[in-house]
Each structure stands twice: as C-alpha cells, then as structure tokens.
C-alpha cells in the first residue's frame, strides 16, 4: 500500500502543475453547477459545464485544464444530500481516477466532520491496486502521494491515523485474498500471519495436521485430507491489560475450493481462491484492533484447508467428529466451509467469549438471495443487533436473515448427530448453512454468522471505494463491533 500524506486546510492551496482539484458538480434548475468551495473556479465560469463533458451523475468524473498546469476534476455528487456513505464512495471514485497526479486537493464544500472523514476514508480505501504476478513492464505505478482536504472541520491527527490503520488492514486483506492459490495455501497463510503480527504483541498458536488430529479437529482435517498441502488452524490473540470483554472471530480459510470429490463445474471453480476471505478478514481485524489499542480481548481462529479431490480426499457418506464431540455425516464435500468452521466455533466456545462472530464465503445461496453487495447476517438476536449497528456505522451492507425452525430438520441424519447438507434441497441454502453452524455454539453464548459470499469478491468493474477482485468487506464492521464492546466509541 502506497502511503498517502494527508493535510487538512481551511482554504485551497494555489494551483500548480500535476495537481488535481476535486470539485463537486450538482444539477440545479436543470443546469449543472459547482458545489461551493474555496477553490478559485473563475476559469470555469465562462463555460457550460455540460459542454465540457461534466455530469451530476454520482461518481462521474470529468477532467478539465486549470491554471498553472493543474487540472479540475469535476465529480458528480448526485441529486441527494451528501451523507457519509456517499462521501465515502465519492472519495473512492476520486482515488481511482486521480492516481496519475502527484497531488490531489479535495474540496466538496461545507461537509460535516463525519462526511469529511468519510471522504478521506473512501479515498484511502479506493487507492488500491493489485498487480500480482504482472511483469514490471505491465505495471503503471501510482504517482499520487499527497492529499489536501479543504474543510472547516477540526480533524485531528489521531482521526487520520485511525483511518490509515483501517485502510491498511483492508488493503492487506485484499492482497491476501487476491493472491493466486499456487502461492496461497494453509502453510503460506500461516507465514503471512507470523510476519503480519511482528511488533504488535499478539500471540499466535498454530496447529499442524498432527496437532489437529491429536486434539480432535476432525472437520478441518477431513476437508484438508485430499490435498498434498495439509491444513492448519491458527489462533491469534490480542489481550491488553484491563480488557473486560472478549470477542472471538472465526474465519473460513479455504485457500482453494475445488468442491472435493463433489467436484465443482470448471467455470464455478474459477475464483475459488477467494474462499479464504473470512480467515484473512478475521486476521487483519485483530491487527487493526491491536494497532488502534482498543481495550478489548480479541481472539481470531483461522480455519485453513485446501479442498482438493484425490485418493485421500474425504468421501460423501463419511462421518467425521468435530472438536466438540458432535459427529457429522458428510453428504456433499463441497459444503466444506461449515465443517472447518464447526471446529473453529467449538474451539472459540471453549474460551467462553462474550460474543462470537464467524465470517465466511459460505453459500452460493447467499448471492442468489442478496446479490453481490449485501452480506447475510444470522444468529442470536442481541448479536445481530450489535453487528447491524456496527455495519451501519462502518457504511457496510448487511441484511438480517432468519433461521426458521422448520429448516433444521433438513439436517437430520440417520448415522450421525447432523448432516452437512440436505441433498436435493435448493430452498433456503444460506439459512440451512446458518442452522448447521448454530449447532456448534451453545445458546448461552451470543453468536452471529456473516455469509459474505456475495460481497467478498467483486468480479465486475470497480465502484466507489470497492476495487475489482477481493474487496476487504466486513473488516471495518468487525472493528466497529470491537469499538462498541470496548466502550471506545
């Protein structure tokens, strides 16, 4: 992640070469007008903005020459009031468009302090590009290194630092998720964790395949047994002095999902490197929480396995034993995420936290039900309310889904305590997955399940602060949950 130097000023700086000045464009009385700003826009006054190509359409950007070699970047702000969510998305759109300039000046008028901060946050989140394995000749690095936010709001260095921490964690999550599966597998994810926690005072414990077998983690073992790259369980712990609340995060970390012997169609297998998003999100959430110094005890459980078909892979009809002693009849090896999460949830329960949240790209049914931008949220009523409030504060999209009692019977098994799916049933797949996970958390512990299958990967064009590829969705919500539980905000 390129570090951006952010300056806050009450008045816009002078025009100079290689600097973009972001101004808002709105429609008023069927004519386009600039939003009020301290930037000298007299060079535009004699022109019809529409003839210059400008538009009030939300996130549209038109670049026009400004004095002294600078450029006006005219961004459509839409017809409605510019609230925090809109400001955040405008910031992201501006970041994607202005990366070729050395500096950017953002002046969208009299924004509230929360909207001004959201604009900066969106810019930081949107200033991202994953180049992966591209050769240097194919990479055009960003020039942008400095932002000036023009506002009367009193924004502190601490507030800007907190935004930078969150943006860095989101960017790192995206990097992990975008990494090709030949480079991202359970053992390499462990190395990424060990490297990423250096200097933060976090404790890391790793279970290899021998330790997993010895300590009864049958779900993770079963899913990973078909791969030549064995599974891992990672516990990351942040426990500052004086912490009175304990939050546990359990992340699904399937580093590649072929479906196992219940093999996916070829076109459905492309993109399955994203199936470890839950684990990457849980990992970087703890990193961000620790860097922010929140007074809360947090543990993250990363359930890592590669789901491959081979002569050693688990079979449909196998019965496996989860960490808490429950047995599971595996009827579909492509419903593997819930198996590794069952182990992770069982381990988290043993520590008796105040709240458990699991994060997983769990079901295709979530995407069918909610599309590509909303995460499905299920769980205990109190936990759901906490996550909903945190998501609203973070500006992320979640939708509370029910766990209808009648669906639980679909998972009844004649040979085990529970089956992992109901073969032939296509109704309520996301909810059935939630029911399965519910079985591994006692009712006395608050628990929420986030199915992020839709928003974890953006296969379409970038929008707002959301890039193409891994999105880093829900991390800011999880940090917001930690802030709430710790009484920090």
* Residue 35 to residue 73: CA distance in whole angstroms: 13
**What values do phi and psi take at 475, rounded to 5?**
-60, -45
Among the listed residues 239, 245, 264, 393, the single catalytic one is 264
* Cβ contacts of 55 within 8 Å, gap of 6 or more: 25, 32, 62, 76
* Residue 325 to residue 242: CA distance in whole angstroms: 34
Interior CA angle at 319 toward 235 and 209, to 5°? 35
CA 454 from chain centre, in angstroms, equals 11
For residue 313, give the DSSP letter. S
For residue 69, give the DSSP letter. G
Pairing of strands 19-28, 103-107: parallel
Determine how many CB atoms are found less than 10 A away from the CB of residue 350. Answer: 11
Residue 348: enclosing H or E segment and its boundaries?
helix 337-350
SS3 422: coil
* Residue 352 to residue 471: CA distance in whole angstroms: 31
**Token pair in block for residue 417:** 């305590």
Distances in Å between the alpha carbon of 8 and those of 11, 14, 135, 143, 190?
9, 14, 37, 20, 39
Mark residue 464 as left, alpha or beta (left: phi above 0; alpha: psi -120 to 50; beta: remaining).
left
Query: Do the Cβ atoms of 15 and 100 come closer than 8 Å?
Result: no
Is residue 264 flagged as an active site residue? Answer: yes
Mark residue 81 as left, alpha or beta (left: phi above 0; alpha: psi -120 to 50; beta: remaining).
beta
**Token pair in block for residue 42:** 């007299």
Pairing of strands 398-400, 469-470: unpaired
**Token pair in block for residue 381:** 């009523």
* Cβ contacts of 283 within 8 Å, gap of 6 or more: 173, 176, 192, 193, 196, 234, 236, 251, 300, 302
Among the listed residues 338, 422, 438, 476, the single catalytic one is 338
**Token pair in block for residue 412:** 């009844």
**Class of residue 109 by CB neighbours under 10 A (exposed 0-12, middle 13-18, buried 19+):** middle
**Class of residue 264 by CB neighbours under 10 A (exposed 0-12, middle 13-18, buried 19+):** middle
**Token pair in block for residue 451:** 């199915």
Q: Where are the alpha helices (DSSP H) in 82-129?
A: 84-97, 113-126
Is residue 86 flagged as an active site residue? Answer: no
Which amino acids are annotated catalytic? Answer: 264, 338
């Amino acid at each position: 992640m390129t570090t951006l130097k952010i300056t806050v000023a009450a008045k816009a700086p002078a025009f100079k070469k290689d600097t973009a000045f972001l101004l808002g464009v709105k429609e008023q009385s069927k004519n386009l007008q600039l939003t009020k700003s301290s930037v000298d826009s007299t060079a535009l006054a004699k022109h019809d903005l529409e003839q210059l190509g400008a538009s009030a359409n939300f996130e549209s950007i038109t670049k026009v020459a400004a004095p002294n070699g600078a450029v006006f970047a005219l961004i459509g702000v839409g017809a409605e009031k510019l609230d925090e969510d809109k400001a955040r998305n405008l910031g992201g759109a501006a970041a994607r468009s202005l990366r070729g300039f050395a500096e950017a000046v953002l002046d969208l008028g009299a924004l509230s302090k929360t909207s001004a901060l959201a604009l900066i946050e969106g810019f930081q989140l949107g200033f991202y590009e994953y180049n992966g394995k591209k050769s240097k000749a194919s990479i055009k690095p960003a020039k942008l290194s400095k932002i000036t936010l023009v506002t009367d709001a009193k924004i502190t260095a601490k507030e800007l630092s907190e935004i930078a921490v969150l943006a860095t964690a989101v960017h790192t999550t995206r990097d992990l998720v975008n990494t090709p599966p030949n480079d991202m597998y359970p053992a390499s994810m462990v190395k990424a964790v060990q490297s990423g926690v250096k200097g933060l005072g976090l404790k890391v414990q790793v279970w290899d395949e021998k330790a997993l077998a010895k300590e009864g983690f049958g779900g993770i073992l079963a899913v990973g047994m078909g791969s030549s790259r064995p599974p891992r369980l990672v516990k990351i712990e942040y426990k500052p002095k004086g912490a009175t609340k304990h939050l546990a995060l359990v992340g699904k970390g399937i580093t590649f999902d072929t479906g196992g012997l219940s093999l996916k169609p070829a076109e459905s297998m492309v993109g399955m490197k994203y199936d470890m998003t839950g684990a990457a999100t849980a990992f970087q959430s703890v990193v961000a929480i620790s860097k922010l110094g929140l007074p809360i005890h947090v543990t993250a459980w990363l359930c890592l396995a590669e789901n491959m078909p081979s002569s050693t892979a688990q079979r449909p009809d196998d019965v496996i034993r989860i960490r808490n002693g429950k047995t599971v009849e595996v009827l579909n090896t492509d419903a593997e995420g819930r198996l590794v999460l069952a182990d992770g949830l069982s381990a988290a329960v043993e520590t008796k936290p105040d709240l458990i949240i699991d994060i997983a790209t769990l079901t295709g049914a979530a995407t069918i039900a909610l599309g590509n931008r909303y995460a499905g949220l299920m769980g205990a009523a109190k936990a759901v309310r906490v996550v909903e409030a945190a998501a609203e504060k973070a500006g992320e999209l979640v939708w509370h889904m029910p766990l209808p009692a009648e669906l639980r019977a679909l998972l009844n098994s004649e040979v085990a305590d529970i089956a992992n799916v109901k073969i032939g049933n296509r109704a309520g797949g996301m909810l059935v997955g939630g029911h399965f996970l519910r079985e591994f958390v006692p009712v006395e512990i608050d628990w929420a399940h986030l199915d992020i299958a839709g928003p974890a990967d953006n296969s379409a064009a970038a929008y707002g602060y959301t890039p193409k590829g891994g999105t880093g969705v829900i991390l800011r919500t999880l940090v917001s949950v930690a802030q709430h539980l710790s009484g920090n905000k």
